[in-house]
A and B are shown apart, each in its own frame.
Chain A
């Protein structure tokens, strides 16, 4: 959990700043309350951070230094192995890299930050304009008109799952249901990856050897989510 990281590394001068990219505060609130978050936990119903940082999926992490400089290109990190058997993301290398950077033992990124920074195309930005239009119409109760703009946004930026999956709850589509699996399956069938982690902390077989993970007990997980 990020709360644990915040507590562990806070004394070393780190703030964990989480951004829930959700349609409402009420969608995000249970996650923040369940985490017992004492770190700043913000809510971005307008995809502002996604737009500014060109984020196209969640989770996305960005490391920023004391001077407000981005010191590591956006990456996919899970700091808990709780659901690692589903996500296929092991926390070993991300955690080690984060601790080493915070303690000044290693640079935040071994590569060229600028060269590895992903920037948006005109089509990506047009997709964001279309998403904003759909979201505004939806908020006015004009859902039928909104739908075509969510579809259009996904056509303009098919890699942008912040839009394609993030719009599903707005559109009344289960974001973890058949439509989601169809979308991800089609994307993979075209030879694309759903997540694009940076290579230096990407999960590899040695992570599982060094720190085995437990298979998820779904009954236990459901029980905890419901309480």
Chain B
């Protein structure tokens, strides 16, 4: 067994697995039920050949439609948000909320400014 690092968007967790990464779906917030893998109101079917317990990471990524890259030499895996999830959120018209620090480490959310017009301006030092 090896300790893998699993990056799930902003969340970083460690998982014990073999040289090929298998993950319990609960690590990514999914629960195995008779109808399949479920999160909130959504369930996706699991092929009956998939045994209970940890699931091969690549297969899990396909099942829950999460883009995944794996560095097998470094034992790190990184899951991004599904494109459809991002698209649906943007097309819904509601500005996605976020929480970020200022230079003093104080956290601010977009929703702190509800009731005002916001000009969100992303820039960089580069």
Contacts and interface: CB of A to CB of B under 8 A. Distances in A.
A119 B91 contact: yes
A199 to B, nearest CB: 20
Interface string A25-58: 1011111100000001111101011111111001
A108 B44 CA distance: 40
A126 B98 CA distance: 21
Interface of B: 5, 7, 9-10, 12, 67-69, 71, 73-74, 76-83, 86-87, 89-91, 93-98, 100-103, 108, 110-111, 113-126
Interface residues on A, range: 35 or more
Nearest to B82: A125
B90 A65 contact: no
A55 B98 CA distance: 14
B123 A51 contact: no
A86 B46 CA distance: 55
Closest 6 CB pairs of A and B: A119-B87, A175-B126, A129-B80, A133-B78, A126-B67, A52-B96
Contact of B121 (A61, A101, A113, A176): A61
Contacts, number: 212
B124 A121 contact: no
A214 interface: no
A166 interface: yes
27 contacts: A17-B118, A17-B121, A20-B123, A28-B103, A40-B108, A41-B103, A42-B101, A42-B102, A43-B102, A49-B98, A51-B9, A58-B122, A59-B121, A59-B122, A60-B121, A63-B118, A64-B118, A69-B95, A70-B90, A101-B117, A113-B93, A114-B93, A119-B90, A129-B68, A129-B80, A133-B78, A136-B12
Contact of B71 (A13, A18, A46, A137): A137
**Interface of chain A, main secondary structure:** mixed
Interface of A: 2, 5, 12-22, 25, 27-32, 40-44, 46, 48-55, 58-70, 77, 98, 101-102, 113-114, 117, 119-122, 124-126, 128-130, 132-133, 136-137, 142, 145, 149, 152, 165-166, 168-169, 175-176
A42 B100 contact: yes
A101 to B, nearest CB: 8
B86 A125 contact: yes
A83 to B, nearest CB: 12
B30 to A, nearest CB: 17
B5 to A, nearest CB: 7
User: Residue among A25, A49, A68, A126 with the most chain B CB within 10 A?
Assistant: A68
Given A119-B83, A124-B83, A126-B69, A46 B10 contact: yes
A130 B78 contact: yes
Given A40-B102, A46-B10, A68 B67 contact: no
